[in-house]
Copies of this chain bind each other. A is one copy, B any other.
């Protein structure tokens, strides 16, 4: 059951039904342009991560500004993008089980599709579905360069797996997946740099050992919104996989730059618009957006341009606001913009983006890959 669109083009922002996922189009376009401008002189390409936006419309806007394609985490996301016209898709993740792999091979008929492995048994499984479908799939080796999650160790283990891929008739060795997720939200630039320097070292060493075996790496991919400038200038990474940069969230906004100031590279473009549904007394108000509407895995949302009001706790459908005696009473029916703590899972709560500009609704875009986690 699709949610009804909460607005129509032409409406004023305060007429949007809530909770709604609101995209400030000026800020969003600024972010896309800014990323393109930062990456242009480095020669490193953007392969934006669609796990953030889950939208072929947004993918195409990124590609129009020079992105080489898209990353996804799941086959279901790859399907939605391919069906929406995206022609170069990397599943930056392992895909396990024949039921999913046959869907991936089927997609390779209409798009260039790549996927990651970190286990030899997976190479054989992917070769089997590619052979059956009569397609060639690009396969990257995921290396664990510090996050201690998926991936083989850099160096010989990765080389062995790459050779297995290269020796498979229906597979192409696509390069290295080298994303350091645990570095992205370290607050200090020096902490982030230290972790990414180690990631770069591991990646460089592996690329070199592969070269010694006659294997080139078309892709060395990684880099999120918190660290991408380091990877982009490394001379090793060829593709950046940032996603959140397009929207920004409250958690990324807490990162600091080299001067100790908050990083201000990108603007907040994504909001959850919510309505005050109860205002029992001065100092307390309750919004109609709890953690079913705004993800709290990376902390509570903050209020857009209202530092005097705090979103203190979320239940499923309620968000509790507190504010001091100096603040004018928050009124029943008032609509407020929340900056989500974490944009990716917040987007996944909604069926529709409501694009606004100059206080008016300009467009509605479906969150087409919402819930696509198979």
Q: Are A278 and B150 in contact (CB-based, < 8 A)? A: yes
Once the chains are docked, how many angstroms separate the CA of A297 from the CA of B17?
26
A368 contacts which chain B residues (CB < 8 A)?
1
The answer to whether A150 and B286 touch (CB under 8 A), given A297-B291, A297-B296, is: yes
Count identical subunits in the complex: 2
Over the window 356-374 of chain A, the binary record of Cβ atoms lying under 8 Å from chain B Cβ atoms (1 yes, 0 no) is 0000000000101111111
Interface stretch among A38-46, A133-141, A253-261, A314-322?
A: A314-322
Interface residue? A332 (CB, 8 A):
yes
Check if A249 is an interface residue, CB within 8 A of chain B: no
Q: Mark A340-358, 1 if CB is under 8 A from B, else 0.
A: 0000110011110000000
Q: Does A119 interact with chain B (Cβ within 8 Å)? A: yes
Inter-subunit contact A348/B318 (CB<8 Å): no
- Judging by beta carbons under 8 Å apart, are A96 and B314 in contact? no
Residue A36 interfacial (CB < 8 Å): no
Inter-chain contact B332/A119, CB cutoff 8 Å: yes
B373 touches A317 (CB 8 A): yes
Question: B1 contacts A370, CB within 8 Å?
Answer: yes
The listed residue (B349, B350, B372) touching A3 by CB distance below 8 A is B372
Question: CB distance A280 to B150 under 8 Å?
Answer: yes
Classify the interface of chain A: helix, strand, loop or mixed: loop
Whether B18 lies near A277 (C-beta < 8 A) is no
A278 touches B373 (CB 8 A): no
Q: Is the CB of A345 within 8 A of B74?
A: no
Q: Are A348 and B276 in contact (CB under 8 A)?
A: no
Q: Is A88 an interface residue (CB 8 A)?
A: no
Q: Residues of B contacting A74 with CB < 8 Å?
A: 317
A279 at interface, CB cutoff 8 A: yes
Q: Which of A195-229 contact B (CB under 8 A)?
A: none
CA distance A18 to B275 in the complex (A): 36
A19 contacts B316, C-beta separation under 8 Å: no
Q: A373 and B96 in contact (CB under 8 A), knowing A51-B316, A51-B317, A118-B278?
A: no
Tell me which residues across on chain B come within 8 A of A19, comparing CB atoms. 373-374
A163 at the interface (CB under 8 A from B): no
Q: How many residues of A contact B (CB 8 A)?
A: 68
Question: Any chain B CB within 8 A of the CB of A188?
Answer: no
Shortest Cβ distance from A19 into B: residue = B373
Q: In the complex the two chains form, is A278's CB within 8 Å of B374's CB?
A: no
Among B94, B314, B344, B345, contact of A277 (Cβ-Cβ < 8 Å): B94
Given A19-B373, A73-B316, are A345 and B292 neighbors across the interface (CB < 8 Å)?
yes
B315 engages A119 (CB within 8 Å) = no
* Given contacts A144-B280, A297-B291, A76 and B3 within 8 Å (CB-CB): yes
Type the 1/0 row for A114-125, where 1 means its CB is closer than 8 Å to any CB of B. Answer: 000011011000
Verify if A174 is at the interface (C-beta below 8 Å from B): no
Selected from B148, B151, B284, B351, the residue in CB contact (under 8 A) with A371 is: B351
CB neighbours (8 Å) of A316 from chain B are 51, 73, 344-345
Q: Which residues between 37 and 74 of chain A lie within 8 Å of chain B, taking CB atoms?
A: 51, 73-74
